[in-house]
Amino acid sequence: MKKPYIFITRTLPEEIIAPFRANWDIQMWDSEEKPVDRTILIQETAKADALITMLSDRIDEQLLEQGAQLKVIANLAVGFDNIDVKAAQKKGIIVTNTPDVLTETTADLTFGLLMATARRFIEASDHIRNGNWENWAPLLLAGLDIHHKTIGIVGMGRIGRAVAHRAQGFHMNVLYHNRSRDTEAESALGATYVSFEELLQQSDFVVCLAPFTEETAGMFNAKAFQTMKSSAMFINASRGANVVEEDLYEALVAGDIAGAGLDVFTKEPIANDHPLLTLKQVVALPHIGSASVETRQAMMHLCLENINLVLSGQQPKTEVK
């Protein structure tokens, strides 16, 4: 019998893939760093029973039309805004993602980014590397306190809760805004539900962890930044398109807010000459929220497990509904 054909849109470590080679015919795009060419992806989709895709791959209706025998798309991310899930479902193609396994790692990065922004880690490191450290000085690279401040989390999902848990350890007052109230987070984490406007008005750190949807697109705009305290900082570890980047830049330059920590951007990779990268009060990271070796390996294993379940006629562990 012909083995199922699996196409993976980046090169993943062979030791993770190897156990599946006996039962599947597996091909990988031959780069770990560069996204697969669209034309190759279309050709591969036409042959594939399953795809493992990255958040940088656009899986739209046109591509899905090619998937004559495609049964499952396993996205190596918790977010799935790169996939037209409705179009996939219409064709009977199952989409899976990688929740849970990346929650704690992404929360670590998010809280670390908040700390780096408030306490100016990158500027301070550059200060030494550029040979500028001549003396200790009372206000040299003084940042903002984090402990006992108010954090406002927009998007109280798994990662939001894990960030709130970290904030508790810093004795922070935790506010959150979400589509619906999360009574578990309220009782277990002492988080208080507030409107989006109240959260913006009261928080010292506004943290965006909401997935990208039609409702969240551009929700952090000029009005939102003007509502924030001028001493407050904005942290984004979900999706760049939740932010109007021109408005964020203007708000930082005008002093409407004090700083921003950004792991995600509207266009990734962000252009080197992007205005946001000229501001010293911006800490910018290349979308590394879940990027620990252990977590990325766990995400790969979960993708493979989901494919295995679907191809053997079972329910995948983490289907996108």
Distance, CA of 314 to CA of 116 (rounded, Å): 44
Pick between residue 232 and residue 299 the one whose CB is nearest to ligand DGY.
Answer: 299
For this structure, is 239 an active site residue? yes
Place of tokens 């277990």: 188
Stretch that binds ligand DGY, among 11-19, 73-81, 88-96, 161-169 (CB under 6 A): 73-81
Q: Interface with ligand DGY includes 55 (CB under 6 A)? A: yes
Distance, CA of 40 to CA of 37 (rounded, Å): 5
Total of residues contacting ligand DGY (CB under 6 A): 9
Q: One of 44, 239, 245, 296 is an active-site residue; which one? A: 239
Q: One of 14, 32, 246, 268 is an active-site residue; which one? A: 268
Q: Interface with ligand DGY includes 99 (CB under 6 A)? A: no
Residue in 289, 295, 304, 307 binding ligand DGY, rule: CB under 6 A: 289
Coil, helix or strand at residue 74: strand
Contacts of 201 (CB under 8 A, 6+ apart): 227, 228, 229
Residues 77-96, one symbol each (x = binds ligand DGY by CB under 6 A, - = not), give: xxx-----------------
Distance, CA of 251 to CA of 244 (rounded, Å): 11
Phi, psi angle pair for 83, to nearest 5°: -115, 135
Tell the smallest beta-carbon distance from residue 9 to ligand DGY (Å).
Answer: 15
Stretch that binds ligand DGY, among 71-79, 143-151, 175-183, 184-192 (CB under 6 A): 71-79
For this structure, is 171 an active site residue? no
For this structure, is 181 an active site residue? no
Tell the smallest beta-carbon distance from residue 183 to ligand DGY (Å).
Answer: 26
Tell the smallest beta-carbon distance from residue 264 to ligand DGY (Å).
Answer: 7
CA dihedral 255, 217, 265, 251 (to 10 degrees): -10
Is 143 exposed, middle or buried, given 0-12, 13-18 or 19+ CB atoms closer than 10 A? Answer: middle
**Beta-bridge partner residues of 52:** 8, 74
The conformation of residue 48, written as its DSSP 8-state character, comes to -
The residues that touch ligand DGY, with contacts defined as CB under 6 A, are 55, 77-79, 102, 106, 287, 289-290
Residues labelled as active-site residues: 239, 268, 287
